[in-house]
Amino acid sequence: MQITKYAVALIHYTLTDDEGKTIDSSAGGEPLAYIHGNGNLIPGLERELEGKGEGDKLDVKITPADGYGEFDKALIQQVPRRALKGVGNLHVGMQLHAQSEHGVRAVTITHMQGDMVTLDGNHPLAGKNLNFKVEIVGVRAATEEELSHGHVHGPGGHHH
């Protein structure tokens, strides 16, 4: 079976940056199971997997436009520490959820100086090329229940 819209694909992958540093990998664990065409992967990777089958291996470079988008300086904001009252133990690297004009957005504290806290609403991988080594280890039809829930059930997927 080939990977097509609404098929369940199981993949092993290693994601590296342009310097070859590993960002994420399924090596040594369960393969990633996802429903193809359901928006569970970045668009560029999903496009590259379309039509592939079990046993296929590929090396793919995804540009920011087809990954997590370009880095947007407008998504960086400095706020006074008092604007984050009620959030304990603020530290660089901490992720928070903030209300924006586009709904709730994940932001990361990237700098703290005195009373000012810098929040970055960009995805940590925005503006970066993403290099994937992928091995497709399984492809099957999604069940009705998986399609209605929007995610894979069972090994490599979600367990209720």
DSSP string for the chain: -B--TTEEEEEEEEEE-TT--EEEE-TTSPPEEEETTTT-S-HHHHHHHTT-BTT-EEEEEE-GGGTT----GGGEEEEEGGGGTT--S--TT-EEEEEETTEEEEEEEEEEETTEEEEE-S-TTTT--EEEEEEEEEEEEPPHHHHHHTS-BSTTSB--
Q: Render pLDDT for 15-73 as a digit per residue (tens, 0 to 9).
A: 999 999 999 999 999 999 999 999 999 999 999 999 999 999 999 999 999 999 999 99
CATH number for the region 7-68+127-149 comes to 3.10.50.40
Cα distance between residue 124 and residue 156, in whole Å = 25
Provide the pLDDT for residue 52: 98
Residue with tokens 């496009």: 47
Q: In this model, does residue 159 exceed pLDDT 70?
A: no
Dihedral sign for Cα 103, 108, 113, 115, please.
positive
**52, 131, 134, 157 alpha-carbon torsion, rounded to 10°:** -100
Q: Where are the domains of the chain?
A: 7-68+127-149, 73-120
CATH no. for 73-120: 2.40.10.330
Tell me the residue length of the chain: 160
Would you say the C-alpha torsion 51, 57, 59, 61 has a positive or negative sign? positive
pLDDT, one tens digit per residue, over 96-107 is 998 777 788 899
Residue 61: the pLDDT is: 98
Query: Tokens standing for 144?
Result: 């009705």
